Amino acid sequence: MDIDKMFKMPKLPGGSNKRRMPEAPTPEMLKKMRVDSEGTAAPAPQNGTSDKGKSRATVEDVDEHEERMEPDFAPGGDADYFAEEDEEGRFYGGGLTQEQKDILNIFDQAGGEEAREDLEELSLPGIRRLLKRFEAAANKNQDQRSKYPDDPTKFIDSEADLDAAIKALLPLAQAPLLAYPELVKSGALARLVGLLSHENADIALDVLEVIHELTDEEVGNEIEEGEEGEGTREEALKMLIKGLMENAIFELLVDNLGRLNEAEEADRQGVFQTLGIFENIIGSNADFAPQLVAETSILKWLLDRIQSKANNENGGYAAEIMSILLQNNRTSRLEFGKQDGVETVLKVLSQYRKRDPVDADETEFMDNVFDTLCSALAEPEIKKFFLDSEGVDLMVLLMKEKMQAKSRSIKVLDYAMSGSAGTATCEVFVEALGLKTLFSAFMGKAQKKKNPAAAPASGDASHTLGIVSSLLSNLPSESPARIRLLTKFVENNYEKAEKLLEIRDAAQTRLKSVEKEIEAEKEELIAEGEEIGPEEEALWYLRRLDGGLFTLQTVDYILAWIVMEDDGIRTHVQQMLSRRNRSLKDIIGTLQIYHDNVDEEDVNAQDDGSPSRKEILRNLIAFLEAC
């Protein structure tokens, strides 16, 4: 079990914070709606990408419409607010967005009452009729575009029909068990994906909306058990995603990104939905992430996007997707390095040296960019790129400033300096005068802060300990840099060694509470006649690590090093331990547990002949036992 690697892996963005677009109308909502026969129809798509903006409502159009409305006519200017009422007196008109009303009108255009009945039922026959209408609309549009490529007036009607037929597929997400197998088997899914390369970008935007909705992890949540066929929503979703992958969905999505202009609202939403599709597919199976990087130019697009000065929601989403793509995959991280990703990310982060993010969205953007760098730094090759791009110097500067980026820079340095591949980074860190700022954060000394958000984060202590641990492991013996490090533990009457013992006491207190819980669980299992196997022991060990053992191991590793290096420190630490009714034997016990749970093939062991973490632990234990 590689403990260092396990506790140095940045977390994926939480699923509970998944970005959302406005929800599409549900079948129940649509059943209760009566559409005004004179309602506004969706604008007909125009020919080609050069004319795509003509089909979209402009700001001026909206403003003129609002000026014509009576100011007190209805809340939100909803003409149906007072008109749409069911038998029980409840209102539904005011609860729908304009987009949802447009979809209702589209259903009327795409087949009138017949389309409405198919939608209401969402039965297998109804689903098949919807798919047939979609296929017919796609075929007709393709045929007319082939016959009259230079005369848009000949195929404009078929394009409007195709637009309506695509949007009519949105409610299929409410019945995945019935709809998804039929989508795949009928060939409609392959046809839908193929329309991403349609000459009219508006058609491609429709497809993005539908696929984004169909691949959502919560599809069909409102359908009660027993209402659909056999199987589960998860199985249906996997079948759909498999069908998408077989039709080169990644390549088509990335190619389509190149023609979207985020200056237009519709295109900006299309970019958002594209990123959402990536997240949905990778969320269903993380193994698709390396495929996305290897088979497309997505990394280049993401790196370009995060450099945009318009750090709107899509910029933050791009940073999040990039962070996800670099999780647990060496090939993707190396490609990130080849694309000058380290240089780009450092350039983006440099803006936070003198200022904090302006809002929560930009803070999330900054965090995702830092996490991307941390993930990449797991590879020795990326550590070299980081060093060559003067990343250490930038992180030291960020540490010195009283900004939110300070805590994140400490985390990056922890990743960059870990393992024997971080030796050069450790040396440059000391040369850049990073020790003073590091130990100021380690001691938790009060600083004048203009911004409360710049206060030390809870993870600072852990990453600071990680940096000190790496410095002791990597700095050459008797080197000036190592001597400067050890001097820090001697100055001010060994205050930093005492601080280590305080952290040790706090970690032990937390660990005792976890140990009691584990012992109670063991007794319960034994009483029930259950056998305690390796799996249970491994899970309990992970809980101990999270409950204070990891911090305890790191602190005792540092204590063992400085006790071995300096006689004065050793005498002082022994005195402080005895006051706590402890001794060096307690440190030996912790290091022995640490040693026994480090993998034989230690990732810290490199071809340069440097000792592995396991070998270092053996030598430290042997020295302490001889004291």
Closest CA to 469 of 7, 86, 1: 7
For residues 465-480, give the mean pLDDT. Answer: 95
Q: Is the pLDDT of residue 452 over 80?
A: no
Q: Is the pLDDT of residue 399 over 50?
A: yes
Q: Is the pLDDT of residue 102 over 90?
A: no
CA distance 8 to 414: 8
Q: Is the pLDDT of residue 66 over 50?
A: no
Which has more confidence, 492 or 70? 492
pLDDT at 17: 53
Asked if 583 and 577 count as a contact pair (C-beta separation under 8 A), the reply is yes
Stretch among 64-73, 103-112, 340-349, 560-569 having the lowest mean pLDDT? 64-73
DSSP calls for 374-396: HHHTTSHHHHHHHHHTTHHHHHH
Whole-number mean pLDDT of the chain? 81
What does the DSSP 8-state code read for residue 445? -
For residues 74-82, give the mean pLDDT. Answer: 45
Q: Is the pLDDT of residue 73 over 80?
A: no
3-state SS class at 91: strand
For residues 42-46, give the mean pLDDT. Answer: 42
In tens, the pLDDT along 575-617 reads 999 999 999 999 999 999 999 998 755 544 455 677 889 999 9
Amino acid occupying residue 254: V
Closest CA to 515 of 553, 538, 556, 548: 548
Residue 624, token pair as written in the block: 């302490």
For residues 374-401, give the mean pLDDT. Answer: 96
pLDDT at 559: 97
Q: Give the length of the chain.
A: 627
b/e sequence 235-246, b meaning 16+ C-beta within 10 Å: ebbebbbebbee
Amino acid occupying residue 549: L
pLDDT at 98: 54
Share of the chain above pLDDT 90, in %: 62
CA distance 570 to 551: 21
CA distance 319 to 584: 46
pLDDT at 456: 39
DSSP calls for 453-515: GGSPPTTHHHHHHHHHHHHHHHSPTT-HHHHHHHHHHHHHHHHHHHHHHHHHHHHHHHHHHHH
Asked if 100 and 110 count as a contact pair (C-beta separation under 8 A), the reply is no
Q: Is the pLDDT of residue 81 over 50?
A: no
In tens, the pLDDT along 345-379 reads 999 999 999 999 999 999 999 999 999 999 999 99
3-state SS class at 85: strand
pLDDT at 460: 84
CA distance 129 to 234: 25
- The three-state (H, E, C) secondary structure of 312-359, written as one string: CHHHHHHHHHHHHHCCCCHHHHHHHHHCCHHHHHHHHHHHHCCCCCCC
In tens, the pLDDT along 280-315 reads 999 999 999 999 999 999 999 999 999 987 767 899
Asked if 409 and 447 count as a contact pair (C-beta separation under 8 A), the reply is no
Q: Is the pLDDT of residue 270 over 80?
A: yes
Distance of CA 99 to the CA centre of its chain: 28
pLDDT-based confidence at 470, cuts 50/70/90? very high
Residue 242, token pair as written in the block: 């498999």
In tens, the pLDDT along 164-220 reads 999 999 999 998 999 999 999 999 999 999 999 999 999 999 999 999 999 998 865
pLDDT at 607: 55
b/e sequence 32-43, b meaning 16+ C-beta within 10 Å: ebebbeeeeebe
pLDDT at 549: 95
pLDDT at 221: 59
Q: Is the pLDDT of residue 31 over 70?
A: no
Closest CA to 486 of 569, 554, 412, 551: 569
Domain ranges in the chain?
A: 16-232, 494-626
Q: Is the pLDDT of residue 404 over 80?
A: yes
Q: Is the pLDDT of residue 90 over 80?
A: no
What is the pTM (predicted TM-score) of this model? 0.78
